[in-house]
Every structure is written in structure tokens, then in C-alpha cells.
């Protein structure tokens, strides 16, 4: 009996070992061995920038948009990781929502914010990314200073720059300019007075020269004249309070800006729509407007740089632009490394090219990619070239404290209605800036 019982035990032991071996083999085939464990991770992604609705095609399914196709590719290449995409309205509302979530420590793993101080003002809720980035990954992209503390070339990185907005210039209707006898790309406008002379010729033909937004396009236009007159260092000095907004140079800029309205050169009534319909000769804009403008105007669409305010400008023949947004990782994220890897996937050369081909509203910030191989549109190619020129000044409104930028736009809407004088406007900006600096 004992011999038979022992023999049965041996057979049972062999059977169990076989089953355990088979189970181990099955785990390895599924990629769950101890050497390569599958991670069951869900990354919550607040999407503020990728389109998921087509205003011209309400029947378009979400899975047909670029970002959903990109997520599908990523999940297929990374078993066990799922991306939970949640649409969040862009702009200051998104930053307020992110801050609220940061305070409650229940923010998303990943989101996209406006760069510069819009991001850095929220750094207490952000994961510093230096430990998760390799130097070759940093070297492969442009725009890092916009997401690095103190806008330095090196330091604590709080975001990964998301593409490039190009450089804001002037989009114009060639037909309307030709009717006024003007070829702006052959002109060499040296100052605001010469710019106004050109606009007057357009107005004399019964054409409204300029379409601007309700806030007077401060970010696109007036802020560039500010920046080129004081330089990037001057913008930094204004931000810290070392230089006043209300100084003779910027006072002159605002006075000339107001003169555009006094001379009847500007409409604020649906500027883009009027431009696309051939009712307005020019608007201020960059790469993000080109596709729609090209559809509306075809070969009649032209582009040139915003004229210098003065011969004495510190920066000539430029514009504002650069990487105006970045991807960030919440400090509350339990999976920062995986979050960074997903961001880097979206910003890889292959994915940036894929989203570019689908008409997504950003240029590439991958180094050494020739956009001319991706498009025949000469204006888009020129935008990519402009973005890499030293005369392109990083968005000043991203350098100002975010609270100050919002305040500037709200006051500028009063300036263009001539309900606030140039001097009072600049004095109020100094007062607001001083209040913000005192709180730090």
C-alpha cells in the first residue's frame, strides 16, 4: 500500500510540475513573464488641442480623427497601456480646470497647456520631467526654453514643447491689393507711417484694409511692436518690473496703434469671415489660418511680415510665434514615466508628420525635417522657415504672468474703442504688474 501510494504521489507531482510549466509558458507567450510584465495602466489624457469634431462634417466619427488613430497605434504597440482621452476646452478655462484638479490632487496624467508662464505659473501641480527625458530626446526638438523654469536653455523642465505656431505675419488678398496698385512683398516698409500710407491707398479704393479681433489682436500685432521696440530682454524687464509699460517708446507705439482705428483702417466685425469673403484686405495670422484662407481665396492668398514699427527697433523683420503650447504631466500622476513616453510618441517625427498631413494646426518642432517634402504650399514652407529665424520673438503674452496677459487683452478692447487713453492703458498695466510681482 505504501509503495502504491508513493507512486501515486510521484505521478501527481509530475503532473503538477507539467501544469506549472505550461502555465509559465502561457504567461511568457502573453508577454507577462517576470522579464517583460504587461502593465495594466490607464493614462487619463485631457485633450485641449487635437480636433475631435469637424464643423463641416458632423457625420465624421471620432476614430477617423488623427488623435484617435494615434492612440490606437500607441496602444497596439504598448499592450497593457490604455489612453483615456477626454476633451477639455482650450485656453484659460483649461488652465483653471487643471489648477482646480491640481489642488484636489486628482488631475489627469497628461494635458496640453499654453507654454511659458501659462505653464510655469502652475508648476506646483506639475511633474518635473528631467528624470524621464534623455538628452537625445531633448536635442531632437525645438522650443524647450518655453517650458523650462526662467525660460532658460537648461534647468527644470515642466513641459514638452508641442510643435510650432510658426510666425504671425499678415495674410492678404492679392486681388484687393492689386486693385489699390500695391504689391506688398516688393515694398520695404520701414515704419508705422509708411504702413499707414499703404493702408490709406487700400481705403481710397473703398476697401476696408484690416480685420482684427474684438481684443484688437494684441497678442498677434501690438505685442509684436512692443517686443521689437524693447527686445526680448526688455519684455523680461517689463515682466519683473525693471522697466515700465508706460515709457515713451511704448506710449508712441500705442498712440500709432490707436491711429489705425482713428483713420478708419480697421473693422472688428467677424474679421476672418470678412477676409475669406473678400471684404477685408488683410488680417494678422500665422500657419494656423493658412489652410482655411487658402480654401477661401486660393491663389489670391498672399503673406508678408508685419512691418517694423520704427527704424530704431531692436528686432527687425520678425514676428511673434514659436512653441506656444506644451504637454505636461500632473504631479498627482502615478505613472509619470509612461505619460512622458506617450507624449514623446505624439511628438515623434513620424507622428508629427502624420498630424501635419491631416491638416492639424501646428508646424513641426522636430529638427532637420524638410517641410517642402510634405507640402507644395509655399506659404506653409515659408512659415516653417520664419519660425526658425532669430527674428521670431517667442510669444510675449506667454512671458508675462498669465494673469497679466488676460488683463492686457481685456483693457485693449477698451483702447480700440477709444474708451481708454494710451497713457492710462499703460499705467494700468504697470499697476497690475506691480501687484502680481508683490504677491510673489
List C-alpha distances in Å: 385 to 332, 378, 380, 381, 391: 39, 10, 9, 6, 11
Asked if residue 222 lies in contact with residue 257, where contact means CB atoms within 8 angstroms, the answer is yes
Residue 197: its pLDDT value, please? 97
Confidence (pTM)? 0.84
The pLDDT of residue 330: 98
| Alpha-carbon radius of gyration of the chain | 27
Residue 38 has a pLDDT of 57
Distance CA 352, CA 374 (A): 11
Closest CA to 289 of 226, 213, 366: 213
In a 3-state reduction of DSSP, which class is residue 204? coil
Q: What is the pLDDT of residues 49-105, one digit of tens each?
A: 999 988 788 889 999 999 999 999 999 999 999 999 999 988 788 889 999 999 999
- Which regions of the chain are under pLDDT 50? 1-35
Indicate the burial class of 301 (C-beta count within 10 angstroms; 0-12, 13-18, 19 or more): buried
Q: What is the pLDDT of residue 59?
A: 87
Amino acid at each position: 500500500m505504501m509503495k502504491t501510494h508513493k507512486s501515486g504521489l510521484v505521478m501527481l507531482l509530475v503532473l503538477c510540475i507539467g501544469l506549472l510549466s505550461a502555465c509559465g509558458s502561457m504567461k511568457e507567450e502573453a508577454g507577462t513573464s517576470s522579464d517583460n510584465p504587461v502593465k495594466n495602466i490607464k493614462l487619463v489624457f485631457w485633450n485641449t488641442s487635437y480636433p475631435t469634431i469637424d464643423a463641416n462634417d458632423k457625420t465624421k466619427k471620432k476614430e477617423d480623427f488623427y488623435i484617435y488613430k494615434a492612440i490606437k497605434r500607441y496602444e497596439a504597440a504598448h499592450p497593457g497601456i490604455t489612453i483615456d482621452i477626454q476633451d477639455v476646452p482650450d485656453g484659460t478655462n483649461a488652465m483653471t480646470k487643471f489648477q482646480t484638479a491640481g489642488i484636489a490632487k486628482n488631475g489627469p496624467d497628461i494635458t496640453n497647456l499654453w507654454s511659458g508662464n501659462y505653464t510655469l505659473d502652475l508648476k506646483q501641480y506639475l511633474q518635473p520631467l528631467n528624470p524621464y527625458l534623455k538628452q537625445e530626446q531633448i536635442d531632437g526638438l525645438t522650443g524647450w526654453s518655453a517650458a523650462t523654469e526662467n525660460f532658460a536653455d537648461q534647468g527644470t523642465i515642466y513641459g514638452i514643447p508641442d510643435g510650432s505656431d510658426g510666425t504671425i505675419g499678415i495674410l492678404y488678398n492679392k486681388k484687393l491689393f492689386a486693385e489699390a496698385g500695391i504689391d506688398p512683398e516688393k515694398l520695404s516698409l520701414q515704419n508705422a507711417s509708411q504702413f499707414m500710407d499703404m493702408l490709406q491707398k487700400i481705403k481710397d479704393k473703398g476697401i476696408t484694409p484690416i480685420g482684427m479681433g474684438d481684443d484688437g489682436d494684441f497678442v498677434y500685432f501690438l505685442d509684436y511692436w512692443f517686443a521689437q521696440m524693447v527686445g526680448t530682454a526688455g519684455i523680461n524687464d517689463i515682466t519683473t518690473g525693471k522697466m515700465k509699460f508706460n515709457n515713451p517708446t511704448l506710449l508712441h507705439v500705442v498712440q500709432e496703434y490707436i491711429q489705425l482705428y482713428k483713420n478708419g483702417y480697421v473693422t472688428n466685425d467677424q474679421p476672418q469671415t470678412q477676409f475669406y469673403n473678400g471684404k477685408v484686405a488683410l488680417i494678422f495670422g500665422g500657419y494656423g489660418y493658412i489652410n482655411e484662407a487658402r480654401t477661401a481665396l486660393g491663389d489670391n492668398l498672399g503673406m508678408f511680415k508685419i512691418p517694423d514699427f520704427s527704424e530704431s527697433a531692436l528686432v527687425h523683420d520678425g514676428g511673434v510665434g514659436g512653441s506656444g503650447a506644451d504637454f505636461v504631466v500632473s504631479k498627482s500622476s502615478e505613472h509619470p514615466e509612461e505619460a512622458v513616453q506617450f507624449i514623446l510618441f505624439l511628438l515623434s517625427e513620424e507622428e508629427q508628420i502624420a498630424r501635419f498631413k491631416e491638416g492639424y494646426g501646428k508646424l513641426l518642432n522636430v529638427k532637420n525635417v524638410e517641410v517642402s517634402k510634405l507640402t507644395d504650399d509655399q506659404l506653409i514652407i515659408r512659415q516653417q522657415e520664419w519660425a526658425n529665424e532669430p527674428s521670431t520673438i517667442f510669444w510675449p503674452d506667454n512671458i508675462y504672468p498669465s494673469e497679466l496677459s488676460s488683463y492686457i487683452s481685456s483693457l485693449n478692447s477698451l483702447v480700440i474703442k477709444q474708451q481708454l487713453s494710451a497713457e492710462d492703458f499703460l499705467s494700468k498695466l504697470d499697476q497690475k504688474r506691480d501687484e502680481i510681482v508683490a504677491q510673489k
